[in-house]
Amino acid sequence: MVDRGECTFVHKVRNAQKAGAAGVLIADNICLCDFASVCKPKNEGDRCEQFEPVMADDGSGSDITIPAFLLFKQDADVIREELLNYNANIVMAEMTWNIPRPDDRVEYKFWTTPTEHISKNFQKSFGDAALRLGDSAVFTPHFFVYDGILNRCHGSNGNACSTMCTNAGRYCAADPDNDLYKGISGSDVVRESLRRICIWKYYGKDKFGEKWWSYTTEFMERCDSPSYFSNNECVNDAYKHSGVDGKKINQCMGDSGGLQGDSVNNLLQKEIAAKDELGVVVVPSVFVNNIAMRGMFFLLS
């Protein structure tokens, strides 16, 4: 059991793992405002928190193999009091996990971007497996898009983050080659993300999206390079070989709000809302029945 403190959850749990811990209980040191009547602040006058902090992976937690839980301050204080009472019995904590399964189907959500490399082999190979799962699984792809307003890229003077954003700075993506003036830009990534969202909208009604997987594979084989990533001819070629109706997809991209001017794009706005609701901070991320999956991305033969 450790105090929440100032360092990240990942850093704290990693230190505990290195010290030999089999699991970690993190004792919150700040009261939640909802529990103000039963939670005593550490110091008189300390402010409470409106929201419980999210124990999210900061992107460096792939080496952590032990479980960790965050305890509300009022619960942690009771355990702490027992631990400090030398005449008390040993305090035992049981960690249990319920398998989340609301119905007879497995629902899994996959968060990615068109330029992240970690899951590319997974995306190329998993399409056939997704089809074979049939009605026993429901797949939904999502695309990580930064909120340009929250990140101060949107303003009265237009896009303040150069080529990283669309819609006058409303929707942004990291520049994959770290060069704002050549190669693939963040705005190119946002455009391709919207394209794949639209492909799923039209062809994902069967819940496994055969043509979505096919287009993703064709694009990676044909257009996944700085020279062709935003090339319309290459995109049309990927449409053709995957059986996707490019006219419908292009219309969807425009009807959702487009990518030009200071306008709201409804589909991209939904992705940002879904990202924030689940607490997605890194890609790739997979949620199975709304529980984050931890581990490597590969397909067993």
170-205 confidence digits (pLDDT tens): 999 999 998 888 999 999 999 999 999 999 999 998
In this prediction, residue 194 carries a pLDDT of: 98
Q: Which long-range contacts (CB under 8 A, 24 or more apart) does 252-259 make?
A: 252/198, 252/201, 252/202, 253/191, 253/194, 253/195, 253/198, 256/194, 256/198, 257/167, 258/167, 259/166, 259/167, 259/171, 259/187, 259/190, 259/191, 259/194
Same domain as 261, residue 186: yes
The reported pTM is 0.72
Same domain as 180, residue 123: yes
- Look at residue 60 and tell me if it is in a domain: yes
Is beta strand 24-27 parallel, antiparallel or unpaired with respect to 2-3? parallel
Same domain as 163, residue 59: no
Domain boundary among 50, 84, 118: 84
Count the residues in the chain. Answer: 301
In this prediction, residue 48 carries a pLDDT of: 87
- Look at residue 94 and tell me if it is in a domain: no
Residue 40 has pLDDT above 90, yes or no: no
Q: Which domain holds residue 48?
A: 2-84
Q: What is the CATH number of the domain that holds 198?
A: 3.40.30.10
Total number of domains constituting the chain? 2
Same domain as 79, residue 10: yes
C-alpha to C-alpha distance for 264 and 28, rounded to whole angstroms:
39
- Look at residue 184 and tell me if it is in a domain: yes
- Look at residue 24 and tell me if it is in a domain: yes
Same domain as 235, residue 163: yes
Same domain as 266, residue 180: yes
67-98 confidence digits (pLDDT tens): 999 999 899 998 888 888 776 667 888 888 77
Same domain as 139, residue 9: no
Residue 300 has pLDDT above 60, yes or no: no
In this prediction, residue 58 carries a pLDDT of: 77
In this prediction, residue 290 carries a pLDDT of: 81
Same domain as 35, residue 164: no
Q: Is 208 helix (H, G, I), strand (E, B) or coil?
A: coil
Per-residue pLDDT band for 252 (boundaries 50, 70, 90) equals: very high
In this prediction, residue 207 carries a pLDDT of: 74
C-alpha to C-alpha distance for 150 and 171, rounded to whole angstroms:
10
Is beta strand 154-155 parallel, antiparallel or unpaired with respect to 158-159? antiparallel
**Residue that is written with structure tokens 């008390």 in the block:** 88
Per-residue pLDDT band for 53 (boundaries 50, 70, 90) equals: confident
- Look at residue 181 and tell me if it is in a domain: yes
Domain boundary among 32, 50, 84: 84
The percent of residues in the chain predicted with pLDDT above 70, rounded, is: 95
- Look at residue 101 and tell me if it is in a domain: no
In this prediction, residue 296 carries a pLDDT of: 66
- Look at residue 111 and tell me if it is in a domain: yes
- The CA-CA-CA angle for residues 58, 4, 62, to 5°, reads 25
User: 250, 216, 220: which is closest to 232 by C-alpha?
Assistant: 250
User: 131, 151, 150: which is closest to 139 by C-alpha?
Assistant: 131
Same domain as 231, residue 166: yes
Same domain as 120, residue 52: no
Same domain as 157, residue 73: no
- Look at residue 214 and tell me if it is in a domain: yes
Per-residue pLDDT band for 101 (boundaries 50, 70, 90) equals: low
197-245 confidence digits (pLDDT tens): 999 999 998 777 899 999 999 999 999 999 999 999 999 999 999 999 9
In this prediction, residue 301 carries a pLDDT of: 45
Residue 102 has pLDDT above 70, yes or no: no
DSSP 35: G
Same domain as 128, residue 24: no
